[in-house]
Structure 1
Amino acid sequence: MKWFRAETFDPDFAAALVRVSPNRNARRDGTAERTHPPDMILLHYTGMASGKAALDWLCARESEVSSHYFVDEGGIVTQLVPESERAWHAGQSFWNGETDINSASIGIEIVNPGHEGGCPPFPIMQMRAVARLCRDIIARHEIAAARVLAHSDVAPGRKSDPGEWFDWKYLADEGVGLWVEPEPLGGGRFLQEGDSGMPVDALQTMLRLYGYKVDADATFGTATREAVIAFQRHFRPARVDGIADASTITTLHRLLAALPRFS
């Protein structure tokens, strides 16, 4: 693996501080270096006890992880990797046919201890900073609203960040990401693990159309359940249980209808 030297660089986001992470390399497109700019933003929570510990880890060579940006609780933004380079934040992941999410994306780590830390809220100053940063990236790279994603979207079952309490609606109201009003919880027919047949096939097709990696076997197995959980975390956070109830399916319909290619 080709390592980059840890020299400093000018931030792409003018308001950012710079702390260089050595954990980066060239963006790739297949077997060649990527010739077009990133077209995706991926949001994470740090999932560590403190922001300092997380920032130190992202900048430690032995960790072999990094992100382009780091946003602390007070809204201070630090850039660790130039946007022109590939940060190591997504791991094994997939979205809409793309398997090298690190090459396709700009990664933003948001300080929050996460699920294991009790799911504390993201402070408003932090959310405002994330929104400003994302708007700046979107404007410079012309990133589509539907390409602002959670780590859990591209790695269902493996990752759960930035979590179901992250305020995606706030971001959308600030011009960042795609959001539709979730259908309220209610009764009615549902699909769950172990089910099979045409309704499951239709669910899998809709999830794949949006970008999730699911099997096309008309069987509600583990991969489908994990994709439903990821969808619920991002778009229907009132209940995250992996069961495709009427609320989940209706919200997914609305989301697909909001995509430019289907509208």
Structure 2
Amino acid sequence: MKKSIAVSAGLGIMLSGCAGLAPEIVCVEDRGQYKADTASYRSVGQNERIRYLVLHYTAVDDEESLRLLTAGGASAHYLVTSNPGAHGGKPVALQLVDDDKRAWHAGVSYWNGRHNLNDTSLGIEIVNLGYTDETSGRRWHPYQPAQLDLIERLAADLVKRYGISPDNVVGHSDIAPLRKSAPGPLFPWQALAQRGIGAWPDAGTVDKYLAGRTPTEPASVARIQQALAKYGYRVEQTGTLDEATRQVIRAFQMHFRPDDIRGEPDAQTEAIALALVDKYRS
């Protein structure tokens, strides 16, 4: 129950209504054993708890995805099924956890200086089998057009509602590159970025850092490690192409250069990383 009443703020000031606002504006909330003035004073020292949007694939079908994400071992705020239903002519996402609650989707994670992203992120799980290893190599499973349409609508709303910056729209593989590959190289990061969802480098800046080199020309591992760390990835600055560095490079390539995800430290990978640092970390 809320009432607009005269209250002492404990500062020697008598407040009537809501600190000079119209008297009908509610500013005192009755919470049973006490009341709280919710509007007279507001601190500028605050921001949204939600700072990141993390995209995943489930690696299993619809039925198993729902079971896994509702049984308690793992969870996500939203689930996009393989064939989203519609209501009133609009596609429907399944909300499994309220936005203001913590879901268990990121696990051990890191991005741009922050650990444990479950505390500050929203997670969208997408029903997709991920990949199948075959004799001819790894085959990645495509996303369905109806899924991508819903993902664009859902992500656009969440980014706008919570003021999530483009560089903080990430895949599970970005924040946990040594153990995750979701949402994979077939996820349309560039198309989403063109619609204001997520980061993407400027082509001219990539060309500047490519500096006439061929894209596949070997590049400095140390320089790539430095650029990836500046952009947000957790990567040890060893100066050598160890297996962990290769996995981080591969995760980066799945996001920003999906036509070649071998994890090779080539000139194009370096140029893209430096262009992203220029755009989002300068």
**TM-score, normalisation: structure 2:** 0.72
1:188: how far off?
5.3
Which residue of the other structure, out of 119, 143, 146, is the alignment partner of 2:164?
Answer: 143
**Could you tell me how far apart the structure 2 residues matched to 1:58 and 1:254 are?**
37
Q: Which of 85, 95, 104 is matched with 2:101 structurally?
A: 85
1:244 positional shift: 1.1
Over residues 113-170 of structure 1, what are the superposed CA-to-partner deviations in whole Å (9 max), with x where a residue is unaligned? 1113842211121111111111111111100001000000011120000000111112
Q: Which has the larger radius of gyration?
A: 2
Of residues 40, 47, 58, the one that matches 1:46 is 58
**Partner secondary structure for residue 151 of structure 2:** helix
CA, structure 1 residues 202+187, in 2 after alignment: closer, same or farther (shift >3 Å)?
closer
Contact 1:47 1:116 in 2 (8 A): no
**Match of residue 189 from structure 1:** 217
Counterpart for residue 219 of structure 1:
240
Render the CA deviation track for 1:21-80: whole Å, top value 9, x for unaligned: xxxxxxxxxxxxx984110000000101x112111211013xx10000001123330000
* Residue 158 of structure 1 pairs with residue 179 of structure 2: yes
Moved more, 112-121 or 162-171: 112-121
Number of residue pairs the alignment of both structures matches: 218
Looking at structure 2, the residues matched to 142 and 156 of structure 1 have their Cα atoms a distance apart, in angstroms, of 25
2:74 aligns with 65
- Counterpart position of 2:25: none
Q: Structure 1 vs Structure 2: percent identity of aligned residues?
A: 38
1:153-191 deviation line (CA, Å, top 9, x unaligned): 011120000000111112112221012357799455315
TM-superposed CA distance for 1:90, in Å, is: 0.9
* Residue from 97, 102, 121 that aligns with 2:118: 102
Q: Report the alpha carbon displacement of residue 225 of structure 1 after superposing the two structures with TM.
A: 1.1
User: Which deviations, in whole Å up to 9, do the C-alpha atoms of 1:208-252 show, x marking residues without a partner?
Assistant: 011000112322222211110010000001111111111211121
After the TM superposition, which of the residue ranges 174-183 and 85-94 deviates more from structure 2? 174-183
Cα gap change, 1:106 to 1:187, in 2 (>3 Å): closer
Residue aligning to 1:11: none
Question: Which of residues 240, 250, 275 in structure 2 aligns to 1:229?
Answer: 250
Distance 1:81 1:258, change over 3 A: same
Out of 196, 203, 220, the position equivalent to 1:175 is 196
Change (3 A) 1:81 1:250: same
1:27 is aligned to: none
CA RMSD of aligned residues (A): 2.2
How does 1:16-27 map onto structure 2 within 5 Å? none
| Alignment partner of 1:74 is 2:83 | yes
Instruction: Give the aligned residue type for 2:125.
Output: E
In structure 2, give the amino acid aligned to 1:40. Answer: Y
| Unpaired runs of at least 5, structure 1 | 1-33, 192-198
Structure 1's consecutive aligned runs of 4 or more residues displaced over 6 angstroms after TM superposition are 182-185
Give the C-alpha shift of residue 203 in structure 1. 1.5
Question: Which of 223, 231, 237 is the equivalent residue of 1:202?
Answer: 223
| Whole-angstrom distance in 2 between the partners of 1:35 and 1:134 | 20
User: Which amino acid is the alignment partner of residue 230 of structure 2?
Assistant: L
Give 1:189's aligned amino acid: E
CA distance in 2, matches of 1:116, 1:188: 27
Structure with more strand by fraction: 2
Q: Unaligned 5+ residue runs, structure 2? A: 1-45, 85-91, 134-138
